[in-house]
């Protein structure tokens, strides 16, 4: 079951430059950068109170995020993430309704160790959508 | 001042079909559709609790949203919207820092009559970002 909006994710060519810009120009506070080796991205989050902006920079050329950056060199909105009560249960329910969950079926985790899954954009109105199981609102 | 995340906006070829899909497959409730004549879009919102998904369908060929749909026929993420305490004050502060606010400088309003403004994507990490002045969280 979908329970809220967790974050909007932006791919950027430089996480350090994006962090400086959000802080200096937009008055946002960006947290510490972390690396997700599985997905080949360095990430940081700008806190908005009710949700967050995720900033992602690729850490290797074969990262899916690198391909996005090739098509959008200045960066851009990559996906958004919905909170769900259970990634497994929600993914299973969606799959029964014909929704394709990306990957090989094995559990994925974000940098916080939380369970995540991605829905094929063609099955969510053209938008890449992540499900995240989290205690946060 | 930015105070929260208001919505993520998806452009869709058919608002009716998108509404049916979000309700039947994803268990979301989509509100009544309304038309914004100024922007040439028909809109509806799926409530997520802490924020919303906006669905937009163009109402005329010269709508900016029509051009987006030409490039992305299946639809896709168009922008996201941040809550601000004051659209005028925030836009003025951002402009002083070199941020381009889209349009002719005249106030824009959304379908609820609330003041809005759009930031040039090149000035927000490649993402089209809307500011909205609203009492809602």
**Alpha carbon separation from A127 to A11, A105, A123, B32, B72 (Å, rounded):** 15, 20, 8, 22, 11
Q: What is the pLDDT at residue A135?
A: 57
The partner residue sitting opposite B2, judged by closest CB among A27, A80, A127, is A27
Question: Per-residue pLDDT tens for B63-106?
Answer: 989 999 999 999 999 999 999 999 999 999 999 999 999 987 66
pLDDT at B11 over 90: yes
Tell me how many helices (H) and strands (E) chain B has: 3, 8
Selected residue of A6, A8, A28 to mutate for chain B interface (largest B Cβ count, 10 A): A8
Q: What is the CA radius of gyration of chain B?
A: 15
- The predicted model gives B11-17 an average pLDDT of 98
ipTM: 0.93
Chain B CB within 8 Å of residue A50 CB: yes
At residue B137, the pLDDT reads 44
Q: Is A130 a catalytic residue?
A: yes
10 Å CB burial of residue A114 (0-12, 13-18, 19+) is middle
Chain B residues whose beta carbon lies within 8 Å of the beta carbon of residue A10: 125-127
Provide the 8-state DSSP code for A78. E
On whether any CB of chain B is under 8 Å from the CB of A121, the answer is yes
The nearest alpha carbon in chain A to B98 belongs to A25
Where do runs of H (alpha helix) occur along B1-137? 15-24, 64-71, 87-96
What token pair was written down for B19? 């509404």
Whole-number pLDDT of residue B112: 81
pLDDT category of residue A43 using cuts at 50, 70 and 90: very high
- What was the pLDDT predicted at A48? 97
Q: What is the mean pLDDT of residues A7-25?
A: 98
Residue predicted with more confidence, B136 or B126: B126
Hey, is the C-beta of A65 within 8 angstroms of any chain B C-beta? Answer: no
Query: Between chains, do A49 and B121 touch, taking CB under 8 Å as contact?
Result: no
Considering the entire predicted model, what is its pTM?
Answer: 0.94
Architecture of the domain spanning B2-133: Roll (3.10)
Which residues in chain A have their CB less than 8 angstroms from residue B123's CB?
A: 25
Task: Kindly state the average pLDDT of the residues A69-94.
Answer: 95
Task: Tell me the three state secondary structure of residue A92.
Answer: helix
pLDDT at B136 over 60: no
Measured CA to CA, the distance from residue B21 to residue B51 in angstroms comes to 19
CB contact under 8 A, A76 and B12: no
Quick check: A126 and B2 CB within 8 A?
A: no
Q: What is the pLDDT of residue B38?
A: 81
Instruction: Give me the phi and psi of A65, to 5 degrees please.
Output: -70, -30
DSSP count for chain A of H helices, then E strands? 3, 8
Q: Is the pLDDT of residue A39 over 90?
A: no
How does DSSP classify residue B56? E
Q: φ, ψ for residue B26 (rounded to 5)?
A: -105, 0
Q: Where are the domains of chain A?
A: 2-133
For position A110, what pLDDT does the model report?
84
Summarize the confidence of residues A27-37 as an average pLDDT.
Answer: 95
Top residue of A29, A125, A129, A134 to mutate, by most chain B CBs within 10 Å, is A125
Q: Which residue of B has its CA nearest to A129?
A: B77
The count of other CB atoms within 10 Å of the CB of residue B83 is: 24
């Amino acid at each position: 079951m979908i329970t809220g909006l967790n974050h909007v994710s932006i791919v950027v060519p430089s996480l350090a430059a994006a962090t400086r810009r959000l802080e200096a120009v937009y008055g946002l506070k960006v947290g510490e950068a972390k690396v997700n080796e599985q997905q080949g991205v360095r990430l940081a989050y700008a806190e908005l109170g009710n949700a967050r902006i995720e900033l992602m920079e690729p850490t290797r050329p074969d990262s899916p995020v690198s391909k996005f950056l090739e098509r959008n060199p200045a960066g851009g909105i990559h996906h958004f993430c919905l909170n769900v009560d259970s990634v497994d249960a929600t993914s299973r329910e969606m799959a029964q309704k014909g929704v394709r969950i990306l990957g090989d079926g094995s559990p994925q985790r974000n940098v916080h160790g939380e369970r995540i899954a991605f829905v094929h954009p063609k099955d969510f109105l053209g938008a890449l959508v992540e499900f995240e199981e989290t205690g946060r609102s």
